[in-house]
Structures are given as structure tokens and as C-alpha cells.
Amino acid sequence: MVAAPEGQSALLYIDLHLVHEVTSPQAFDGLRANRRRLRQPLRTVATVDHNIPTTPRGLPITDPIAAKQIEALQKNCREFGVPLFDMDSAEQGIVHVIGPELGITLPGMTIVCGDSHTSTHGAFGSLAFGIGTSEVEHVLATQCLPQKKPKTMQIHVTGKLADGVTSKDLALGIIGRIGTDGATGYVIEYTGEAVRGLSMEARMTLCNMSIEAGARAGLIAPDDTTFAYASGRRFAPKGKDWEASVAYWRTLATDRGATFDRVVEVDASSLAPFVTWGTNPGMVVAVNGRVPELKSFAQESDRRAAEQALAYMGLDPGTPIEAIAVDRVFIGSCTNSRIEDLRAAARVAKGQHVNPKVRAMVVPGSQAIKRAAEQEGLHRIFLDAGFEWRESGCSMCLGMNPDILQPGERCASTSNRNFEGRQGRGGRTHLVSPMMAAAAAIAGHFTDIRDWQFH
């Protein structure tokens, strides 16, 4: 904290500002219009991810407006001296994937980005949250942001996730319970043995989805798992600096006995693989369940929302989830495109074939993940099974590039939002884990991964 002026919001210093092509051009224009400089180019890191094609990098960008936005970022980064992991860079990737992967994201930082899924970086015990373009400009100009103190929510997860149940399912289970506005106004801290037992990548998936419960940020206290992940990464501290950093990071955990404004208890062992049935991430049910009956909603507004959602999704109440056939499968996004996600999906796909009625796509989160997967031969497994193997980017998570659903197409997606039209106008999105998505691609419909015969 830099200052806490009387009668104003506290002024937070921002350690890391991540920038991408879609929410930054107007902010750089603002700097120019007001003759302001970029205060800290080396605490600012840019990449292109949202609207770039996932076809081979040598091909031209066919969308002229997307090309113009990418050019604007290139020009702005040159003019203001911002490090840019560009289209042709070996480090390019989804902004929330490359930050952690390169050791740019570390514990105890304040991190912002003009993207709501900035909450991902909370997995390191950082305060990381999404901001709008005016705030992007504010941070570019001042490296600070005035912030009101949020309320605190503890989500305490006991027990152990069963085989086939992932941190994506944990996130969906939590949102299904507290609702998409359940954590609005709060920052979530995830605690408990089930959270401690998660890998860093699984923790990122969990924190990533905090915004889908309304929380701007969700975080997990850093521990040995965190330090082991960050150690040796390209931009992480080295030698004595590393030792000193770890010693400091160990002090960051919440005090024993601290109180929270709200506490939610979750038993991990009670969770199943989840599938969303509606048009927000809170409309979710276990894979062995059914699309809910409208009379099960107590509130009139929720019942009406469910009715509208089912009409949009083309589903009848009471339909078993496993009876829902899919046309498309998307494995990717800042939620589920990391190497562990790809390994999990490949394990399901190995020796199998994508259903002839399904088009399935795997989009690694970054160029580094793509290389790692190819080294392990995962791409072979996917290609042999009939999946497309693409270049890195946000892709079909938000359909700003050519990877979109056609009207009425139904998609099993490992992304984070099933809003109307999110993946393409009229497209119907069901959110699932990477294993569940791969299984749906092969079966042609949703299927319980806990019953899967692995080859």
C-alpha cells in the first residue's frame, strides 16, 4: 500500500500489470491524449492472445479488424517500451498461462490485467484481479490503483477429490452452490486439505473460476507446492534472492484463527464430475444427474432464468445429462489448457477415436505448453484420435478469432463461461473438465468419466 488518504480509497501499488490486445488500445490512447508517460515499463508485460488465430503462425490474419488491434498493441509496446511476447514469440500464450509459466507471477504480488480471469494468479498467494480499460490506463500512468477493501470469504474444502473429479469440478460445484453472485464484493481464500493437495495448475483452475462466483480475486496461501513450481523459472529470483523470497513468502499465510466475513464449507469427497446445463456457470449438475425441473426453483426470477436458459440451450427439463449429444469439443482456455490438463485429456483419448459426428479441438495455452506436449507425444495421441491440434491462444473460449460455434451447435468446453453466444451466436456451451470433454468427444455425448475404460 502506497497511501491511505483520508476519505479516499487506499492506494495499492501494482507489482505486475499484464496487458493484451483487446482491452488496452484505448488506455494507451488515453496516455497519449493526456501526455502521460508509462510509469513502469518493466512491471508491464504484454502478449497477444484474445483474437489471434490458432491456425499455423505463418498464415495471415484474415480478420482485418483483429489484425489492426494486434498492430495497435505492437505499436504501443514499441512506443512505450513495454516487453511484448508477440505472435511469433516462443513465449506467446494466454496471458494467465504465461505469467506463471515464465516465473513472472510469484507469491505476494499485486497483479492486475484488463481481463476478469486475472484471478488465476491468486493460486500463488497473490492479490490478482481483473480491471477495466480506464483502470488499465490508471495503472499504466501511475502503477497504482485506488481500491476499497473487499470483504473476505473462506472456502474451506475438506476431504479428497475422487478419481475423475478435478479442481474444475470443485470450482463448478462451489459456483453451483453459492451462485454466480455468491462472492460478489468478496475476495475468496481457498483453504483445507483438498486445496493443499492440489497441484499448482489445478489451483490455477480453481482460482481462475473465482470470478464466475462474482469474486474479483480468489487466492491460496503459498506453500512448498507453490515454491517447487516457481523455482528455477525464467524470471523467478535465483540464488540468495530466491532463498530470501521463499522466507518472505512463508510469512504470507493467513494467521491461524483469523476470522472471515463469510465461511463456506465444502466436502470434496461429495463432489462428482459436473456439467453445466444452462447459460451461466452456476447452472450446473453432476454428470449422472438430470437437467432440473422448473418447479425445483424456489424464486420466480430464477425459475424464469432457467426457463429462458433451457429454451436457449434446446433442452427439456428432466433430460439425463448423459443423454445429451455434442457437436463440438473444445479443450483449452486460461482455465484448462495447461500441460496437466492436456495429459489428462490425452489419457482419455489414447487409443480411441473422436465420434464421427463430433469436431474436437485442442488448443494449448501457450507455445511452451505446445512444445512440452509435443515432446511427450501428446499431440500424436490427439491427432491419431481425430482431435485438431492448434496453435496457442484464447480461441473458442470467447470466439473472438475464427474458432466459433455455428448457431445451434452444442459444445463440451473446458472454458469458463457458458453465457448465451459466448462461443458464437446461438452456440450452446456446456462447461466440463478436460477429461470429461475428451470423453464426450469420443462417446459423442456426455459420459461419466468415473466409468471410463482407459486404454
Partner 1 sequence: MQPFRKHTGVVVPLDKVNVDTDQIIPKQFLKRIERTGFGEFLFYDWRFVGDGKERKKTTGDFVLDQPRYAKASILVAGKNFGCGSSREHAVWALADFGFRVVIASSFADIFANNSLKNGLLTVRLNEEQVAGIMRRAKEIENYQLTVDLENSQVDDGRGFTATFTMDEFSRHCLLNGLDDIGLTLEHEARIAAYEAEHPVRAEMKAILGGLARP
Query: What Cα–Cα distance (Å) separates residue 337 from each residue in 95, 169, 415?
Result: 12, 15, 9
Strand runs (DSSP E) across 28-173, as ranges?
A: 44-47, 84-85, 110-113, 127-130, 144-147, 151-158
- Using CB under 8 A, which of 141, 252, 253, 294 touches partner 1? 141
CA atoms within 13 A on the CB side of 338: 21
Site string for partner 1, 145-184 (x = CB under 8 A): -x-x-------------------------------xx--x
Q: What CA–CA distance (Å, rounded) separates 173 from 274?
A: 7
Identified binder of partner 1 from the candidate list 159, 185, 192, 444, rule CB under 8 A: 185
How far apart are CB 316 and partner 1 at their closest, in Å? 22
Closest of 449, 444, 410 to residue 433, by C-alpha = 449
Choices 194-202, 298-306, 327-335, 434-442; region in contact with partner 1 by CB under 8 A: 298-306
- Nearer to partner 1 (CB atom), residue 169 or residue 212: 212
Considering only 137, 169, 327, 341, the residue that binds partner 1 (CB under 8 A) is: 137
Using DSSP, state whether 231 is helix, strand or coil.
coil
Strands 144-147 and 10-13: antiparallel
11 near partner 1, rule: CB under 8 A:
yes
Nearer to partner 1, 267 or 302 (CB): 302
Number of CB atoms found within 10 A of residue 250's CB: 14
In the complex with partner 1, the residue whose CB is nearer, 135 or 327, is 135
- Could you give the angle at the alpha carbon of 397 between the alpha carbons of 392 and 399, nearest 5°? 90
| Whole-angstrom distance, CA of residue 423 vs CA of residue 444 | 19
Q: Of these, 32, 37, 78, 357, which contacts partner 1 (CB under 8 A)? A: 78
Comparing CB distances to partner 1, the nearer of 164 and 399 is 399
Q: Among 18, 61, 84, 127, which residue sits at the site for partner 1 (rule: CB under 8 A)?
A: 84
Decide if residue 104 touches partner 1 (CB under 8 A).
yes
Task: Report d(CA 146, CA 5) in Å as an integer.
Answer: 10
Sequence-distant (≥ 6) Cβ neighbours of residue 123 within 8 angstroms: 100, 200, 203, 204, 206, 207, 219, 220, 226
Nearest distance from C-beta of residue 138 to partner 1, angstroms: 5
428 binds partner 1 (CB under 8 A): no
Phi, psi of 292 (to 5 degrees): -65, 155
Site size toward partner 1, by CB under 8 A:
81
Selected binder of partner 1 within 115, 189, 327, 403 (CB under 8 A): 115
Smallest gap from residue 66 Cβ to partner 1 (A) = 6
CA–CA gap between residue 28 and residue 44 (Å, rounded): 13
For partner 1, the closer CB: 146 or 444: 146
Determine the Cα angle at 89 with ends 241 and 93, to 5°.
75
The verdict on 366 binding partner 1 (CB under 8 A) reads no
Residues between 199 and 218 that touch partner 1 (CB under 8 A): 214, 216
Nearer to partner 1, 116 or 254 (CB): 116
Element (H, E) at 3: none
Instruction: Give the shortest CB-8-to-partner 1 separation in angstroms.
Output: 5
- With vertex at residue 378, the alpha carbon angle to CA 372 and CA 384, rounded to the nearest 5 degrees, is 145
Give residues with Cβ within 8 angstroms of 436, minimum separation 6.
Answer: 273, 275, 287, 412, 446, 447, 449
| 393 part of the interface to partner 1, by CB under 8 A | no
Binding to partner 1, residues 395-414 (CB under 8 A): 398-400
Distance CA 370, CA 387 (A): 14
Please list every residue from 261 through 280 that binds partner 1, using CB under 8 A: 280
Q: Does 363 bind partner 1 (CB under 8 A)?
A: no
Site for partner 1 in 38-67 (CB under 8 A): 40-43, 45, 50-51, 63, 65-66
Does position 288 bind partner 1 by CB under 8 A? no
Q: Which one of 162, 253, 294, 305 is in contact with partner 1 (CB under 8 A)?
A: 305
Q: Applying CB under 8 A, does 13 fall inside the site for partner 1?
A: yes
Q: Tell me: does residue 329 bind partner 1 (CB under 8 A).
A: no
